[in-house]
Amino acid sequence: MFEIINNYLQAWLKKDIAIFMEVLDENVRIEECYGPYYIGKTECQKWFRNWNAPTENKVISWEIKDYWEVEETAFATWTFECSYKSEHILFDGISLVKFADGKITCLKEFEMKHEKFRPYEKNTA
């Protein structure tokens, strides 16, 4: 399952629609961390093409930090960086990914701020 998730990320990094479509189940549901969701390969294909159509839109990096599998479900923490509509975006997140027959059937993303701080660290005011 790790290879499937890695291929999904590589599809975004390379803007490769063939790799993207290959890892998805026909009835896949993908939920982005800020609200939009897509059901089925047709909607996912439109989303991928529209997101990548402007040449300035680019996934700069999408690095998996931690990874766990439980039966047909995987969890991956990651750091995501992109340029979207001329805005630089950087955040951390986690994905919950469900599989069937070697394809992604459900992918849910959750976002966390990239900048972290310790408000109660010793030696701070």
Q: Which domain holds residue 82?
A: 2-113
pLDDT value at 124 more than 80: no
pLDDT given for residue 63 in this prediction = 97
- Is residue 96, in this structure, part of any structural domain at all? yes
Q: Is the pLDDT of residue 42 over 90?
A: yes
pLDDT band of residue 55 (cuts 50, 70, 90) is confident
Mean pLDDT value of segment 69-89? 96
Q: Concatenate the DSSP letters of all residues of 50-64 into one string.
A: HHHSSTT-EEEEEEE
Whether 22 and 10 have beta carbons less than 8 Å apart is answered as no
Count the domains in the chain: 1
Predicted local distance difference test score (pLDDT) of residue 121 = 87
Q: Looking at the domain assignment, is residue 85 inside a domain?
A: yes
Give domain status of residue 60, yes or no: yes
CATH code of the domain in which 72 resides: 3.10.450.50
pTM for this model (two decimals): 0.91
